[in-house]
A and B are shown apart, each in its own frame.
Chain A
């Protein structure tokens, strides 16, 4: 068992405890002046959106490394990150409309940030479908898809600053007043722990699958 694997239960316990305590930490923070209670969706929505972008970037870097060097570990990391990008993207795309319905009066708007996030989620879903049903050699094609998805990340991030958008700008997080920043950092740490733990577990799963494949080949020989 590697140090990374030993870290998983610790990270999962930290994440679970922090997430369980998060309603109390969030409740202790004051209300935002214009949105009031519904703004509290922010503390779960934003860390997930941030980590979705981290996952997509990791997938892109690992895919590029795989295309250059063909090391299986890069492919495992890329696949794990793509799956995490879809999971975290699902949370982001479901919690966002709940906030929008109350704050903007609509569930969805074809605004640059929302649309580009949906496209990115669809690209990583396509990556996973390709891996699931693509057959032999799909890892090379999916690496190209992963790279394409990662290239979209800066556009998703800066779309709110570059284009006319209903969505709050990127400066919101950096300029948060201290009482609102505390629950935000709390939830971000909890989700970072979850992200690292799951990434290690998912890479372990792919590594075990590769071992299984090798063992089957030895058995056939």
Chain B
């Protein structure tokens, strides 16, 4: 009878240990991996079109803005040269 009790106690300890270690393994697994939610896979496969369009838009915007600013700077400076040259001409007279 005493042997049976010891055996049952040892069995209970063993079952509890296995259950606890199993639970901790599950907890660890949850720390590392998460189940995919609906739509996650679709989001992972990024469509290329927005990237290509964005790249082309950037090129066009940068080139156009640069050309416009350059043109503005040139016309402003040339106008200023003409105005100062006219003043110089007046002074000479």
**B81 shortest CB reach to chain A, Å:** 5
CB pair A205–B73 under 8 Å, yes or no, is: yes
Which of B55, B71, B74: most chain A CB closer than 10 A? B55
Closest A-B pairs by Cβ, 9 of them: A37-B48, A38-B48, A95-B55, A41-B55, A215-B84, A98-B51, A208-B77, A98-B55, A212-B81
Number of interface residues of B (CB under 8 A): 28
Q: Which of B76-93 contact A (CB under 8 A)?
A: 77-78, 80-81, 84-85, 87-88, 91
**B64 shortest CB reach to chain A, Å:** 10
CB pair A45–B77 under 8 Å, yes or no, is: no
Within 8 Å of chain A (Cβ to Cβ): is B52?
yes
CB-defined contacts of A4 to chain B, threshold 8 Å: none
Cβ proximity bits B50-81 to A, threshold 8 Å, 1 near / 0 not:
01101110111011001100110110011011
CB-defined contacts of A219 to chain B, threshold 8 Å: 84, 87-88, 91
Interface set of B (CB-CB < 8 Å, partner A):
46, 48-49, 51-52, 54-56, 58-60, 62-63, 66-67, 70-71, 73-74, 77-78, 80-81, 84-85, 87-88, 91
